Amino acid sequence: MPELSGYLRQDGRKGIRNIVIVAYLVECAHHIAAEITLPLREQGVHLIGFPGCYPNTYAHRMMESISTHPNVGAVLLVSLGCESFARQQLADTIAASGRPVETLVIQEHGGTRSTIEKGRAWVEEVRQQLDKQQRVPMGIDELVVGTICGGSDATSGLTANPAIGHAFDSLVEQGAACIFEETGELIGCEQHLARRCVTPELGAEVVASIDKARECYDTLGHGSFANGNAEGELTTQEEKSMGAYAKSGFGALHGLIKPGDLPPRGGLYLLDVVPDGEVRFGFPNIVDNAEIGELIACGCHLILFSTGRGSVVGSAVSPVIKICGNPQTYENLSDDMDLNAGAILTDNVTLPDVGDQLLELVHETVSGTPTRSEGLCHQEFILTYKTFEPLGPGCLPGF
């Protein structure tokens, strides 16, 4: 496998990419930020943003966490000017991290055309600076890897998801931090997870987080089970949960975190993405990319994405590796997929074989090889309103 390397940041973390973020701070600035980004997107310039005008603590924390992610080298903030987002606070946080940052306020910079021109000029200049930076050696114990499943079908829990679990077990053993989610797709598996927790207190926190998800879905009258799951021959929420559970592997569970929390050390972590408090903001995650964004806010350098029905999305900031569980889907969408885990069903390939192939892909991606979604310029991003309470005392044992 290739030696790992990354870009050293001021806080000691290392990034596997060196991108420029263009971030809009309200939907009214989205178009201008996108126009700044579009001609530069193949040069490592990515678009993110928050559409809301009313402030939200969760959204601000997400924007701070992602803007100071180790894969990010510089940030351009695009503001309309009258939204309530605390743009100066965000800019100060980015500057304190040692990254170049610039804020363009559309109402103060002459409107659409002028702001686009100024934005592109700044991005092109800082892009030239970043391109001069050299990669440095990086250990596997410095790596944070997230996983998500989307467009799941009956093959997902038999092939792609357990292959990810195999890779997670190996990565954790080597000192990496691995994060899986979501609690709404683990309903019915909470006691199995609790038995794997390193302390009884953590087990109780995990059970409570999944109970919270169940109560949320009961209130909404809609669980994390889509029409496509049923058409893909998944039969129940419990069957889907067992497939999602398989992504976590077999090792001990070291912590429960929430969006924006960084794993304090290597190990296996569960990410709780269901908001705390009363149900106020609708469905916890309306698309897979909302969860990917939350994994990235927890420091994930890359995302392992399993799919059975097929999904073509990638992400801004962190590369996405697509693992396809269904051999027919892989044949149909091979240009979008990085790995055919469905070969387990058709080609006499073993689960450990696919898990080892995935580990090779992780090493290649960390060292700079583009994933399929990166090559196709998939840079999806979405951020909505949520609310979270601080972690409970048992969530991170030993810290």
Q: What is the pLDDT of residues 252-308, one digit of tens each?
A: 999 999 999 999 999 999 999 999 999 988 888 878 999 999 999 999 999 999 998
Q: 151: which 2 tokens?
A: 């467009």
Alpha-carbon distance 159 to 174, whole Å? 23
Ranking 96-110, 211-225, 350-364 by mean pLDDT, the lowest is: 211-225
In this prediction, residue 151 has a pLDDT band, given cuts at 50, 70 and 90, of confident
**Which pLDDT score is estimated for 242?**
73
In this prediction, residue 399 has a pLDDT band, given cuts at 50, 70 and 90, of confident
In this prediction, residue 348 has a pLDDT band, given cuts at 50, 70 and 90, of confident
**Which pLDDT score is estimated for 225?**
60
The percent of residues in the chain predicted with pLDDT above 90, rounded, is 83
Residues 8-21: pLDDT tens digits? 999 999 999 999 99
Alpha-carbon distance 30 to 23, whole Å? 8
Q: Which residues of 203-235 are buried (b: 16+ CB within 10 A; e: fewer)?
A: bebbebbbebbbebbeeeeebbbbebbeebebe
**Which pLDDT score is estimated for 232?**
54
Question: Beta strand 302-307 with 144-149: parallel, antiparallel or unpaired?
Answer: parallel
**Which pLDDT score is estimated for 154?**
74
- Please determine, for residue 230, whether its predicted confidence score (pLDDT) is greater than 60: no
Residue whose C-alpha is closest to residue 245's, from 182, 298, 202: 182
In this prediction, residue 235 has a pLDDT band, given cuts at 50, 70 and 90, of low
Cα radius of gyration rounded to whole Å, the chain = 20
Q: Using alpha carbons only, give the angle 65, 71, 76 rounded to the nearest 5 degrees.
A: 70
- Please determine, for residue 152, whether its predicted confidence score (pLDDT) is greater than 80: no
**Which pLDDT score is estimated for 157?**
81
- Please determine, for residue 222, whether its predicted confidence score (pLDDT) is greater than 80: no
Kindly state the average pLDDT of the residues 197-221: 94
Residues 72-113: pLDDT tens digits? 999 999 999 999 999 999 999 999 999 999 999 999 999 999
Axis crossing angle, helix 57-67 with helix 288-297, rounded to the nearest 10:
60
Question: Beta strand 72-79 with 101-105: parallel, antiparallel or unpaired?
Answer: parallel
| 19-132 has CATH 3.40.309.10 classification | no
Higher pLDDT, 245 or 206: 206
- Please determine, for residue 195, whether its predicted confidence score (pLDDT) is greater than 80: yes
- Please determine, for residue 133, whether its predicted confidence score (pLDDT) is greater than 80: yes
* Mean confidence (pLDDT) of the chain: 93
Higher pLDDT, 128 or 188: 128
Residue 5 identity (one-letter amino acid): S
Residue whose C-alpha is closest to residue 174's, from 206, 138, 147: 138
The percent of residues in the chain predicted with pLDDT above 70, rounded, is 95
